[in-house]
Structure formats: C-alpha cells, structure tokens
Copies of this chain bind each other. A is one copy, B any other.
C-alpha cells in the first residue's frame, strides 16, 4: 500500500506527551507520511522504543529522539506537527515556516484571531502576531478548502472540537438563540497532559468526579470566536469543564433556547444533512444518546438531539475522543488536506469496544 507513492517526511516536535504518543500511533499506519524526525528536550538521545515500549517492533522504533532544532527539521521534513505548550509553539512555528515547512500547531498560539484576546486569556505575550491572519483554524469539516492552501494550521482545542461540531447546524441555521448557550463538558484525564502533577495522580483522580475552571477555562474565547462566525454576530457562552476518571473521551451537553421557528423535525433534518456531508459526523437515532466508548480511538463525533418541549430548549450531546478526534487525529486530517491528500487518509478507524 502506498508503495507507488512517494512518502512525505514529517516530524513531531514534542513527542513525549499523550498527543505525541497518539500521533505516533496514527502515523505508523499512514500510507503516505513517514516519520522522519521526533524531538523532545527531555528525552533526546533515546530512541522511540525506549520511551514507548508499545511500539518496539515497528519501523520507527529505532528513530533517535533529537532536540527541537528548526534547521535540522527543515532539512529532513516537509511538514511538522508542533505538540508543545502554548507560548513555546509560536516561535518554533515561525522558524519552521521560514524554512518552507508546513506547520500543524496543537497549541492555542494561532487559534485566536485577536492577539489581545489571546494575551488576556493566556497571560502570555504574542510575539508572532503577523502570523495570526495567515493561520487557518483546523476544523476540517468546516474549513477544508482553506486548510488545503494553508502553511500554518491552528489545530482546534479538544473541548471546542466537541462543541463546535455539536452546535454548528443549530447555530448556523438559527435554530437556537445563540445568546442563551450553556455548555457543560466532561473530559477524560488525558486532556490534562502528561506532566507529573500531584492532582493528576491515579489516586487523586480515580473514583472521583469534579468540575474545574468554571467560567474561566481558556477554551472559552476559542468557542465564542468560532460560534460567532457561524452565527454572524457576537456569542457569549457559559462553559463548564469537568474531569471524568477515564483516559479518553469528551462528552459535551449543550443547552439553548429554541428559536420560535425551530421544531424537532427541522432540527433533526439540519443535523442529518450536516452528517450526510461529513462522514465523521454521526447523528444518533431519536431516543438514543452518544457514549464516549462508541468513538474511542476514532475520528467520529457522535451527536444526540433532545428537544425538551417542557422548557423550550434544545439539548445537544456530542461525544468525541479527545486525543484522536480532538487533537492528533484532527491534526493528521489537517496535514492530509495541506498535503493534497483526502482528509481521511490513514484515519479510517474503528472504536475499541469494550
């Protein structure tokens, strides 16, 4: 498979986190991309199989992990995935773009079009503001054409992915009042990253459930910016994240008042049409609701619809895998598009159940 096709060399900057690990899982099965470089300051000098024993037997297992040197990445790669924290990503992105590479950035550094909003929510100076207008927000269902032309793709946040896909039909077709949005999201623990922090220890998370960052989570402006684009006007949301004691998965429960003209059938039709155009969107049949296990390890976004006639509200429930659909898989879809491949290349994934 792919033997007739020239392989495209790609690099991962920041391979040791969960998103790097997931991207590696997907790249190793990709028919066109070939892992040519993997970097990590902490683990440099080791090979991939030293840090990820699960892939000791694969082609990439003996690849040496190097420090993140833009020069060297420029020499060996055509495209680079940046899986490093916000703040760090912006400079590296600029250097790689200067060397002619395509960059898919996992961080928030290029997601917000306003540097001022970025600096307020992230408490970080944006020192590459000239790139903001060029960066494409990489929600592949909605921005595919722009991504195909992009040099710099801002890969969406995991929560925003689950929320934007869940609300797009209702907001863009004005089936709900965009001023009344309440979003109650629940995420698996891999969303917190792979840093050794006390509150992410097994014994702190297991058999527990909690809310966090209510009213002040950094994904809020990203959600509002994109929804405003769909709505054609400013949108303010209440966004409440919660931590679920599982590894993967985000379930977002979203509430809004129905528009006067909306009825259960028109709502369902709008969503079914959206799903008809995008193979990773699946609308649950009436009476069924999504579950995170049904999308585990895949690119699917499963959406359930409930019209609560007693209160005049639409409740949308969406489920994604935060690491695959909400991060690394989506980055790979964006890389596919940016390299002229079909978005789904190497991403025809089935959930592991149970």
Contacts from A to B (Cβ < 8 Å): 1, 18, 21, 25, 28-29, 52-58, 182, 184, 186, 188-190, 194, 196-198, 200-212, 214-215, 236-238, 240, 242, 244-249, 251, 253, 255, 279, 282, 284, 288-297, 300, 304, 306-311, 313, 315, 317, 319, 348, 350-354
Report yes or no: B211 in contact with A253, Cβ–Cβ below 8 A.
yes
Lowest 7 A-B CB distances belong to which pairs?
Answer: A215-B308, A203-B354, A210-B291, A202-B205, A54-B294, A208-B293, A184-B184
Q: B315 to A208, Cβ gap below 8 A?
A: no
Judging by beta carbons under 8 Å apart, are B203 and A189 in contact? yes
Assess the A211–B289 pair: CB atoms within 8 A: yes
Q: Report yes or no: B354 in contact with A210, Cβ–Cβ below 8 A.
A: no
Q: Which residue of B lies closest to A306 (CB)?
A: B214
**Contact indicator A246/B353 (Cβ below 8 Å):** no
13 A-B pairs whose Cβ atoms sit less than 8 Å apart in the complex: A18-B203, A18-B354, A53-B284, A189-B203, A200-B201, A207-B296, A208-B292, A210-B289, A214-B253, A214-B289, A215-B306, A237-B311, A238-B315
Q: A194-B201, A198-B194, A282-B56 are in contact. Are A353 and B238 (CB under 8 A)?
A: no
Whole-angstrom distance between the alpha carbons of A249 and B210 in the complex? 10
Docked complex Cα distance between A155 and B142 (Å): 47
Closest partner residue, chain B, to A180 (CB atom)? B180
Residues of B within 8 A of A296 (CB): 207, 352
Taking the closest CB of chain B, its distance from the CB of A183, in whole angstroms, is 10
Q: Within 8 Å CB of A297, what residues of B? A: 297, 352
Cβ A21 vs Cβ B353 within 8 A: yes
Residues of B within 8 A of A289 (CB): 210-212, 214
- Report the minimum CB–CB distance from A187 to chain B (whole Å): 9
Please determine whether B317 and A214 come into contact, CB atoms closer than 8 angstroms: yes
Q: A25-B353, A308-B215 are in contact. Are A240 and B315 (CB under 8 A)?
A: yes
Besides the known contacts A202-B245, A238-B310, A242-B251, 16 further A-B residue pairs in the complex with CB atoms under 8 A apart: A18-B203, A21-B354, A54-B353, A55-B350, A57-B282, A182-B182, A182-B313, A202-B206, A207-B247, A209-B251, A215-B307, A215-B311, A215-B315, A236-B311, A245-B246, A297-B352
